Chains A and B, each alone.
Chain A
Amino acid sequence: MKRSLFNLFAVLVILSLALAACGAPAVEEAPAAEAPAAAATEAPAAEEAPAAAVEKTAIVGFTASLTGKLNVESTRQNNGFKLWMDQVNAAGGVPLADGTVVKFDSKFYDDESNKDRVQELYTKLVTEDNADFLISPYSSGLADASAVIAEQYGKIMVTTGAASDSTYQKGYTLVYQAYTPASAYLTGSLDLLANADAAAKKIAIVHENDKFSTDVVTALEAYAIEKGYEVVLNEGYDSGTTDFAPIINKIPADVDAIMGGGHFADGQQFAKALSDKGVAAKFISLLVAPPEPTFAEIGDAAFGIVGPSQWEPLAAFAPDYGPTGAEFIEAYKAAFGEEPSYHAAGGYAAGLILQKGIETAGSLDVEAVKAAIDSEDMMTFFGHIKFDTSAENHGLQVGHSMVYVQWQKDASGALVKQVVWPLEGKTAETVYPIK
Chain B
Amino acid sequence: MNAGMILTSLVDGLLIGVVYGIAAMGLNLIWGVMRVINLAHGALISLGMFGVYLLFSGLGLNPYLSLVLVALLGLLMGVLIYVIAIQRVINAPYLSTLLATFAINMIIIGLGTAAFTTTPRDIGFSLGNVELGPLTLQGTRLVAALVTLTVTAILYTFLYRTRTGKYIRAVSNNRAAAELMGIPSARILALSFGIGTMLAAIAGGLIATFFSFTILSGDLYQQKSFIIGVLGGLGNPLGALVGGLILGVLEGVLPLTMPNTWVPVIEFVLFIVILLVKPSGLLGGKK
Q: Are B251 and A268 in contact (CB under 8 A)?
A: no
Instruction: Indicate whether A235 reaches chain B with its CB closer than 8 angstroms.
Output: yes
Q: Can you sample 16 A-B contacts with CB below 8 Å?
A: A69-B118, A69-B216, A235-B255, A238-B261, A240-B220, A245-B12, A245-B13, A246-B253, A246-B255, A249-B252, A249-B255, A272-B122, A276-B136, A278-B136, A294-B119, A299-B124
Instruction: Indicate whether A87 reaches chain B with its CB closer than 8 angstroms.
Output: no
Instruction: Indicate whether B9 reaches chain A with its CB closer than 8 angstroms.
Output: yes
A39-93 contacts to B, CB under 8 A, are 67-72, 75
A sample of 7 more A-B contacts (CB under 8 A), given A235-B260, A237-B261, A249-B9, is: A67-B110, A72-B118, A246-B252, A249-B5, A249-B252, A249-B255, A276-B129
Given contacts A71-B113, A299-B124, contact A269 B211 (CB under 8 A): yes
**Residues in A neighbouring B255, C-beta threshold 8 A:** 235, 246-247, 249-250
B238-265 contacts to A, CB under 8 A, are 251-256, 259-261, 263-264
Q: Are B211 and A242 in contact (CB under 8 A)?
A: yes
Given contacts A72-B118, A269-B212, A278-B129, contact A298 B261 (CB under 8 A): no
| Cα(A276)–Cα(B122), bound, Å | 14
A69, A209, A245: the one contacting B252 at CB < 8 Å is A245
A71, A235, A247: the one contacting B117 at CB < 8 Å is A71
- The 4 lowest CB-CB distance pairs between A and B, nearest first, are A245-B12, A265-B120, A297-B122, A246-B255
A residues bordering B, Cβ < 8 Å? 67-72, 75, 209, 235-238, 240, 242-243, 245-247, 249-250, 264-265, 268-269, 272, 276-278, 294, 297-299
**Residues in B neighbouring A264, C-beta threshold 8 A:** 119-120
A68, A72, A240, A249: the one contacting B119 at CB < 8 Å is A72
- For B, the interface residue count at a CB cutoff of 8 angstroms equals 41
Q: Are B138 and A276 in contact (CB under 8 A)?
A: yes
| Cα(A356)–Cα(B124), bound, Å | 45
B residues bordering A, Cβ < 8 Å? 5, 8-9, 12-13, 15-16, 110, 113, 117-122, 124, 126, 129, 136, 138, 207, 210-214, 216-217, 219-220, 251-256, 259-261, 263-264
Q: Name which residue of chain A comes closest to B140, CB basis.
A: A276
- Interchain nearest-CB distance for A331 vs B (Å): 23
Q: Are A246 and B251 in contact (CB under 8 A)?
A: yes
A69, A75, A249: the one contacting B256 at CB < 8 Å is A249
Given contacts A245-B12, A249-B8, A278-B129, contact A268 B118 (CB under 8 A): no
| Cα(A248)–Cα(B109), bound, Å | 31
**Residues in A neighbouring B12, C-beta threshold 8 A:** 245-246, 249
Q: Are A299 and B126 in contact (CB under 8 A)?
A: yes
A69, A70, A297: the one contacting B121 at CB < 8 Å is A297
**Residues in A neighbouring B264, C-beta threshold 8 A:** 238
Q: Name which residue of chain B comes closest to A279, CB basis.
A: B136
Q: Name which residue of chain B comes closest to A263, CB basis.
A: B120
A67, A235, A276, A298: the one contacting B113 at CB < 8 Å is A67
Given contacts A236-B261, A242-B220, A298-B124, contact A272 B212 (CB under 8 A): yes
Given contacts A69-B118, A242-B220, A268-B122, contact A250 B113 (CB under 8 A): no
**Residues in B neighbouring A69, C-beta threshold 8 A:** 118, 216
Q: Are A298 and B16 in contact (CB under 8 A)?
A: no
**Residues in A neighbouring B136, C-beta threshold 8 A:** 276-278
